[in-house]
Structure 1
Amino acid sequence: MYLLIIFLSIIGSSFAGLFGRHLGSWGAAFITTSCLVVSFLLSLFAFYEVGLFGSPVYIKLTTWISSEVLHIDWGFMFDSLTVSMCVVVTFISSLVHLYSIEYMSHDPHLPRFMSYLSLFTFFMLILVTADNYVQMFVGWEGVGLASYLLINFWYTRIQANKAAIKAMVMNRIGDFCLLMGMLLIFINYKSIDYASVAVLTPVLKDKTVNFLNFNLHLLSVIGVFLFFGAVGKSAQLGLHTWLPDAMEGPTPVSALIHAATMVTAGVFLIARSSFIYEYINNILELITVFGALTSFFAATTGLVQNDMKRVIAYSTCSQLGYMVFACGLSNYSVGFFHLSNHAFFKALLFLSAGSVIHAVNDEQDMRKMGGLKNLVPFTYSMVVIGSLALIGFPFLTGFYSKDLILEVAYGKYSDLGYLSYFLGTVGAFCTAFYSMRLSYLTFLSKPTGHKKVICYAHDSGKFICIALGCLAIPSIFIGYLTKDMMVGVGSHFFGTAIYVNLNNFNVFDAEFISTFYKTLPVNLSLLGFFSALFLYSFRANFLFNIKTSVIGKKLYNFLNRKWFFDKIYNEYFSQFFFKFGFSTSYKFIDRGIFEILGPTGLSTAILKVGSSLHKMQTGFIYHYTLLILVGTTVFIGLRQMWLLIGYAIDFRLLFVVFVLFFYIIYSTNNDK
């Protein structure tokens, strides 16, 4: 049963990819969707056995690598953390498959698309079920590959090509850091499976390692590298720029990869490595700062974006910041609780956005929509549910996890706790504002699009509506139903899957913070929601005057251009590396130094010397006698000179003279 959860998706992917031409679009869609639905049902059984009854399952499939120093098995570990992720991944993936049957029905390459979706799900399941870092890295790289294929699915579009390459390159930076962390673990622990590393970490907590000729704390270096791997995958500040651009792919791709599963892999990695991070408080502080800044940055940027999917993408980036700084404050279970809750309502928002885009002839600019409330009432209802859950409206799913993160942040009673609480609370206000702005511009304002498009807008078909309805139910209830089980005071749901040092444990403190600070985030969320509704309904001129003022223009430009991160990367990093790669690396080093000192220069010099020697062969014996005499005299003279001054000459000078000799010959030959 447990292996079927993982391998059903790759079976469906193989059938759709290899036999899609024979199966046809409907056949490939039916097989892949059926496999994912069965996998989801089996995940529920696994959750019942492992999560509710506390019976972890460990499966050793076969030996993968076996040498004197390294032993790696294909092993799968099903603990409460893993089965929770399996339920989330398979549930959302099965609904995205169902949604795609109708959304992509016009596309002639539907079998290939369904194959990619199932392949992505398979690698994500490999990532979360692995019992060692190397096997986890296989899934980690696999979801990166699948995301590239899915973002670039419409490969004839230049923007899709650029977005896919950008996602791949930015993730390679994080993946390199993760690989460095894994190598350090292997060198020092002599093992890479989670259980061995968790047991040995207390023994090595004071060990130092020489890294780049600096003596550094071993666990701190490992923690930094693992975290920067998570930064790339979970789109934290600095490596976040790929996430909004990845919206160029089809909408089901956005829902599956960039809302529910792939981007949460970094948060999962931090939670899975809690047994390391709990011994390095300085790195936990770094994680907290990165997460808090990301949540604030993305929330402010989302205020002025006009592309519907891009607004939701920045919302994802902001919510990932909440999860990361919750983990940085040693509340991994709270961060994971928000991860699982967020997956449902963010997938609902993305798929609802796809339904809207489908209804208005693939238009994504919210300024060209409006007046859709009565034309697409079901989709409007789904967007409202998703938006209210996102802003943390009381008693919806987001309310139970998002506000809890801010409570435990304030309950730390530290400077970083207050900083993350403040930035998170401001981010909550901004989130509510742009969520209401999205709903108003799309559904409630006067129609501003083309008449032919708006008049023919209608709700989507049954498959899309079923998928949205199934996502709406957990978006309303799942937070209430699972809060006490996952993060309730005294709950042992995660057991040994997550380790928290008693010195960092502050769930009880968070329960007793003042009512004002407990209710401030939800009050600001409601304020942002109703202020956006009021301003866009009755004071649109006021917003226009603010935007066109001197300061307003600069602020709007700053936020609309995403804090100029793309501009800085393009002009100061990309251009530098392009110029260095062509002018310095290629023209000067490869075509210059290497060719002069390498085979080309050497062969040219030898041919030149050989040609000169050939010209000396005149056939007259007195010429040869003269050459023998002169050569003997020169060699004897050099020997005597070396005996006199050889002690004062550096041997390295001979190498320089040798290089200059070949360079002069090569230059002379090129001039001719």
Structure 2
Amino acid sequence: MNLELLVTLGVFAPLLGAAIVGLSGRRLGNVVSQSITTGLLFFSCFVAWTVFSQWTWGHLAPFTVTVAPFIHVGDFISNWSIRIDALSATMLVVVTSVSSLVHLYSWGYMAEDPDKPRFFAYLSLFTFAMLALVTAADFMQLFFGWEGVGLASYLLIGFWYKKPSASAAAIKAFVVNRVGDFGFALGIFTVFWMFGTIQFAELFPMIADRANTGWEFLGHTWSALDLAAFLLFIGAMGKSAQFFLHTWLPDAMEGPTPVSALIHAATMVTAGVYMVCLLSPIFEYAPVAGQIVAIIGAVTALFAATVGLAQNDIKRVIAYSTCSQLGYMFFAAGVGAYEAAMFHLFTHAFFKALLFLGAGSVIHGMHHEQDMRKMGGLWKLLPITYAVMTIGTIAITGLGIPGIGGLAGFYSKDIVIESAFAAAASNHSPIGLFAFFVGIFAAGLTAYYSWRLVFMTFHNKPVWKEEDGHAHAHDHHDDHASHAQIETHSEPIADDHAHDDHAHDDHHHHGPLKPHESPWVMIVPLLVLSVGAIFAGMVFEPFFTGHHENEFWRGAIFTAPANHVLHEAHGVPTWVKWSPLILTLIGTFAAFWIYVVKEGMARRMAERGSVIHAFLYNKWYFDELYQFVFVRGAKAVGDLFWKVGDEKIIDGGGPNGMAWLSRKFAGGLGRFQSGYVYFYAFVMLLGLAGFLAFAIYSWGA
């Protein structure tokens, strides 16, 4: 079969599955619906790996398939196209691999849910939107996919829509992303204003010649390219949950765990990183915007890592870990190491999906309990889940020996940190130095909270045994807030299946709730992802950032002639190479000491109610700050316009005012309608007298 046709079928296969199951799922039944969507996703995955392998080892040339006209309005021309190059081939593999495994995993995790066709249709719709995004050949299709994943994520996060917290989380994700998308749209407008085209193939060659284009505003001349790049990055901040626009990410854990893996591991949240790397020709000639990207990325990496230290919900810990790792990717792109950013995106997809799905296996085995303080001692009862989550933890912490090797995260995280140092050394950039030190410090924090999760969940004393014989009936939509708060500042635990229409048969036990291993349909995806978490870095490091880097990227990523950051990253001093490992070991030992050797120490520290613990536990109080400034502020402004502007001024002086005058006037006239003849004769006499007086006066005048 022709490769172009195969790629087209692979991109549209998830849409076909979503349409069939979304429209006819109830008639088809659960098994047929799941089989259609999952089968089509595995077909897309096969196509993606075919393209990626031919690109990596077969020297496939880049090509673009024009499927159909999209929008043609004057000079604004957009065709629905499928672009294949190193970037899109990499993202095709990432998206379809994780999505197909999530589909398979959901067969077990969602086995008791009555709305499985709707869930699988949403998953497939989300995947199609991501494929449309990563294969876009112009800004219009990119924006279509961008908004498509936003819509699908809203549907997935709020899948249990009768659960108030899930509906609120879905709305929050949608609204926060609209803030970023507004900036993204303005960035597209600016690009079209500057260049008169939104086609990447036409746009990129023109950028160098117009790099000095100015924009007059408030009496100053601003760099138009910096402005465009900054506005586009605002979109990335929203989609990839970067600092200031990150607040939707932890709340998105209200969706089912497979959704968390799909959205937060490899797809939606990485769209921003992909977009910045795709637009490297713009960011290379927009140095100020690049510095902003690096700063925001570094701050996000630090912020999310600190917050992750104090969370107790197993999914929230991994969610903040995702936020922190995205920060690494962004500061790598900000210092000019786009290849390193994409490499970390690639490896991160495997070990983060592994951790999220592993957490889902724990939640499933613990009868939908998510509070790590109510776990412990699970390694004997969930041995496979324990093994794969340990692999994922080693991968994300980047444990490895320089010059020898390690798991996937070791290769990608180290080259990101080394690139930041190289940027600081070669360009004398304080921002690069800031990103470097933040990177190694966040590596220590990552090791601490990652191993904290493992020790609290799988080691220590089995806390769950204290609740033997107690029935965990999670069939009320507000039950997730009823858990005993066994530490100060305890958060309500989001129950994946706390939905009155999704009560599961195994939720009503009259004996001990003994944890159990997950079924094989959930275990197999974990084993496959474990292979990626172990070998993805070792196998693909030469292609993404090593000696085959130029052959692999083949112009898909543009670097200015003065940008030698990636090349110089390989020659950094020895102490730079060893710094991440040293901080990682310190973080690992600290977690082991506090949660294993001195078990109970962390609980006692939390009970003291320290200011630092409260600050980190409450996520730097961003939600409270935004609630006060934006939510209440917007409500106050709305009330002002509504109650004063609309009701008192517009309605009071307009329709309501005229109605009041008419009512008063009619009331006065109504008094004349007494019903007595003598009263009417008296009025007529007065009228006649008045008329005669007026006539005499007029005649005399």
Please indicate, yes or no, whether the TM-score normalized by the shorter chain is above 0.5. Answer: yes
Q: Does 1:474 align with 2:532?
A: yes
- Where do residues 585-596 of structure 1 align in structure 2 (5 Å cutoff)? 585-596=641-652
Mapped to 2, the partners of 1:486 and 1:212 lie a distance apart of 44
Rate the CA distance shift 1:458–1:545 in 2: closer, same or farther, 3 A. Answer: closer
Matched residue, 2:519: 461
Mapped to 2, the partners of 1:111 and 1:22 lie a distance apart of 10
- Report the alpha carbon displacement of residue 477 of structure 1 after superposing the two structures with TM: 0.2
Matched residue, 1:23: 28
Rate the CA distance shift 1:80–1:620 in 2: closer, same or farther, 3 A. Answer: same
- Where do residues 579-658 of structure 1 align in structure 2 (5 Å cutoff)? 579-582=636-639, 584-596=640-652, 598-601=654-657, 620=687, 623=690
Name the amino acid aligned to 1:105: A
- Report the alpha carbon displacement of residue 461 of structure 1 after superposing the two structures with TM: 0.8
Q: Does 1:448 align with 2:448?
A: no
Contact 2:122/2:155 (8 A) holds in 1: yes
Name the amino acid aligned to 2:539: L
Matched residue, 2:484: none
- Report the alpha carbon displacement of residue 570 of structure 1 after superposing the two structures with TM: 1.1
- Report the alpha carbon displacement of residue 282 of structure 1 after superposing the two structures with TM: 1.2
- Report the alpha carbon displacement of residue 178 of structure 1 after superposing the two structures with TM: 0.4
The farther-off stretch of 226-235 and 483-492 is 483-492
Mapped to 2, the partners of 1:243 and 1:350 lie a distance apart of 14
Matched residue, 2:588: 529
Rate the CA distance shift 1:607–1:622 in 2: closer, same or farther, 3 A. Answer: farther
Contact 2:129/2:146 (8 A) holds in 1: yes
Q: Does 1:110 align with 2:169?
A: no
Name the amino acid aligned to 1:11: L
Mapped to 2, the partners of 1:522 and 1:83 lie a distance apart of 31
Matched residue, 1:651: none
- Report the alpha carbon displacement of residue 451 of structure 1 after superposing the two structures with TM: 2.5
The farther-off stretch of 180-189 and 394-403 is 180-189
The one-character-per-residue Cα deviations of 1:385-407 (angstroms, maximum 9, x if unpaired) are 01110000211000000011001
The correspondence for 2:367, drawn from 361, 364, 382, is: 361
Mapped to 2, the partners of 1:621 and 1:50 lie a distance apart of 104
The one-character-per-residue Cα deviations of 1:222-270 (angstroms, maximum 9, x if unpaired) are 1111011100000000110110110011000000011210000011111
Name the amino acid aligned to 1:536: Y
Rate the CA distance shift 1:605–1:195 in 2: closer, same or farther, 3 A. Answer: farther
User: 5+ residue gaps in structure 1?
Assistant: 632-672
Mapped to 2, the partners of 1:126 and 1:588 lie a distance apart of 46
Mapped to 1, the partners of 2:669 and 2:463 lie a distance apart of 85
Rate the CA distance shift 1:627–1:271 in 2: closer, same or farther, 3 A. Answer: farther
- Report the alpha carbon displacement of residue 208 of structure 1 after superposing the two structures with TM: 1.7
Mapped to 2, the partners of 1:612 and 1:624 lie a distance apart of 22
Rate the CA distance shift 1:629–1:376 in 2: closer, same or farther, 3 A. Answer: farther
Rate the CA distance shift 1:7–1:180 in 2: closer, same or farther, 3 A. Answer: same
The correspondence for 1:47, drawn from 23, 48, 52, is: 52
Matched residue, 2:413: 402
Name the amino acid aligned to 1:475: A
- Report the alpha carbon displacement of residue 211 of structure 1 after superposing the two structures with TM: 5.0
Give the percent of matched residue pairs that are identical in Structure 1 and Structure 2.
42
Matched residue, 2:502: none
Rate the CA distance shift 1:615–1:47 in 2: closer, same or farther, 3 A. Answer: same
The correspondence for 2:422, drawn from 411, 414, 419, is: 411
Name the amino acid aligned to 2:319: A
Matched residue, 1:519: 578
The correspondence for 2:234, drawn from 228, 231, 241, is: 228
Name the amino acid aligned to 1:140: W
Matched residue, 1:576: 633
Name the amino acid aligned to 1:585: F
- Report the alpha carbon displacement of residue 44 of structure 1 after superposing the two structures with TM: 1.4
Contact 1:98/1:464 (8 A) holds in 2: yes
- Where do residues 53-202 of structure 1 align in structure 2 (5 Å cutoff)? 53-202=59-208
- Report the alpha carbon displacement of residue 46 of structure 1 after superposing the two structures with TM: 1.6
The farther-off stretch of 244-253 and 524-533 is 524-533
- Report the alpha carbon displacement of residue 57 of structure 1 after superposing the two structures with TM: 1.5
Secondary structure in 2 aligned to 1:330?
Answer: coil
Contact 1:489/1:508 (8 A) holds in 2: no
- Report the alpha carbon displacement of residue 215 of structure 1 after superposing the two structures with TM: 4.0
Q: Number of aligned residue pairs: give it.
A: 628
Mapped to 2, the partners of 1:68 and 1:120 lie a distance apart of 31
Contact 2:340/2:566 (8 A) holds in 1: no
The correspondence for 1:486, drawn from 514, 526, 544, is: 544
Matched residue, 2:622: 565
The correspondence for 1:556, drawn from 613, 618, 630, is: 613
The farther-off stretch of 450-459 and 293-302 is 450-459
The one-character-per-residue Cα deviations of 1:498-528 (angstroms, maximum 9, x if unpaired) are 1111222212322222111111101211221
Rate the CA distance shift 1:66–1:545 in 2: closer, same or farther, 3 A. Answer: closer
Rate the CA distance shift 1:599–1:198 in 2: closer, same or farther, 3 A. Answer: farther
Name the amino acid aligned to 1:8: A
Secondary structure in 1 aligned to 2:119?
Answer: helix
Contact 1:51/1:83 (8 A) holds in 2: no
The one-character-per-residue Cα deviations of 1:123-162 (angstroms, maximum 9, x if unpaired) are 0001111111111111111101100100111111111011
Secondary structure in 1 aligned to 2:243?
Answer: coil
Contact 2:367/2:513 (8 A) holds in 1: no
Rate the CA distance shift 1:477–1:560 in 2: closer, same or farther, 3 A. Answer: same
Q: Does 1:391 align with 2:393?
A: no
- Where do residues 285-434 of structure 1 align in structure 2 (5 Å cutoff)? 285-394=291-400, 395-412=406-423, 413=425, 414-434=429-449
Mapped to 2, the partners of 1:290 and 1:626 lie a distance apart of 87
Matched residue, 1:502: 561
Rate the CA distance shift 1:275–1:610 in 2: closer, same or farther, 3 A. Answer: farther
TM-score, normalised on structure 2? 0.86
CA RMSD of aligned residues (A): 2.4
Rate the CA distance shift 1:94–1:580 in 2: closer, same or farther, 3 A. Answer: same
Mapped to 1, the partners of 2:444 and 2:256 lie a distance apart of 30
Mapped to 1, the partners of 2:107 and 2:148 lie a distance apart of 24
The farther-off stretch of 209-218 and 13-22 is 209-218
Contact 1:51/1:84 (8 A) holds in 2: no
Name the amino acid aligned to 1:503: A
The farther-off stretch of 599-608 and 8-17 is 599-608
Secondary structure in 1 aligned to 2:253?
Answer: helix
Name the amino acid aligned to 2:544: M
- Report the alpha carbon displacement of residue 368 of structure 1 after superposing the two structures with TM: 0.2
The farther-off stretch of 44-53 and 156-165 is 44-53
**More helix by percentage:** 1
Mapped to 2, the partners of 1:105 and 1:185 lie a distance apart of 47
Rate the CA distance shift 1:490–1:90 in 2: closer, same or farther, 3 A. Answer: closer
Mapped to 2, the partners of 1:612 and 1:18 lie a distance apart of 64
- Report the alpha carbon displacement of residue 624 of structure 1 after superposing the two structures with TM: 6.2
Mapped to 1, the partners of 2:79 and 2:277 lie a distance apart of 22
Mapped to 1, the partners of 2:660 and 2:211 lie a distance apart of 59
Secondary structure in 1 aligned to 2:78?
Answer: strand
The farther-off stretch of 394-403 and 52-61 is 52-61
Mapped to 2, the partners of 1:222 and 1:347 lie a distance apart of 33
